[in-house]
Structure 1
Amino acid sequence: MPVSAAKQKAYPGGSLKSRLWDDIKAWVRMRSGDRCEGSPAFPECQAANGAPHPVTGSIVVLTVAHIHHDLRRNGPADLRHWCQRCHNKHDAPFRLANRRGR
């Protein structure tokens, strides 16, 4: 899901394209070994970036997830490298609340 221009300002350096955010993403990728780090819903997920997902069959695109939904928290304990399945499952309640205006 694309990040709105307004929310991009909350990322380190004020943009998803900032050098700091690039460094953070590279660190998360290195930590994960370019595999999904598993979410609370699917803790054993190890889907490999660019390969077919072992459950869904879709090509895996790993993204950096803020596990607390707070873009200001960018430490190792706050970020995970997740496949679409893990990221979307984790974000579903948050997205629903946003759609409802909460």
Structure 2
Amino acid sequence: MPIRPENRARYPANWSTEIRPRILTRAGNCCEGSSDYPDCRAANYEPHPDTGSRVVLTIGHLDHVPENCGDDNLRAWCQRCHLNYDKAHHAETRRRTRAAAAGQAPLFGEAA
């Protein structure tokens, strides 16, 4: 997924020059697969073998923490695998955003 401008400062300065290229090289410039699609090997900039859409590999954080850029926390993913992996995280973010917009305070122990 593209890095949102408000999160750019959370990524190391060498993200695009060293870290991202290193992960893409490790992956052979192909998707490393997700739990629902473990055998996905969609190639960067080629049509996806299952969806037919043009693949643009992204680098995903398994723990959703941009500051954690260890190789064991990063995966090269096609759009399908990345969105699939992040679906629970996106649902929670959406729930919190809607609750905040409705003026609901976070529950006890829950981060805002």
State the TM-score bracket (shorter-chain normalisation): 0.7 to 0.9
2:79 to 50, 60, 84: 84
Tell me which structure has the larger Cα radius of gyration. Answer: 2
CA apart distance, 1:7: 1.2
1:21 matched to 2:23: no
Structure 1 CA distance for aligned equivalents of residues 42 and 81 of structure 2: 10
Q: Percent identity, aligned pairs only?
A: 43
Gaps of 5+ in 2: 97-110
Gaps of 5+ in 1: 14-19
Structure 1 CA distance for aligned equivalents of residues 90 and 31 of structure 2: 21
CA deviation vs aligned residue, 1:11-56 (integer Å, no higher than 9, x gap): 113xxxxxx1120001001101100011111111000111111110
CA RMSD of aligned residues (A): 1.3
Structure 2 CA distance for aligned equivalents of residues 54 and 5 of structure 1: 31
Runs of at least 4 residues off by over 4 Å: none
Partner of 2:9: 9
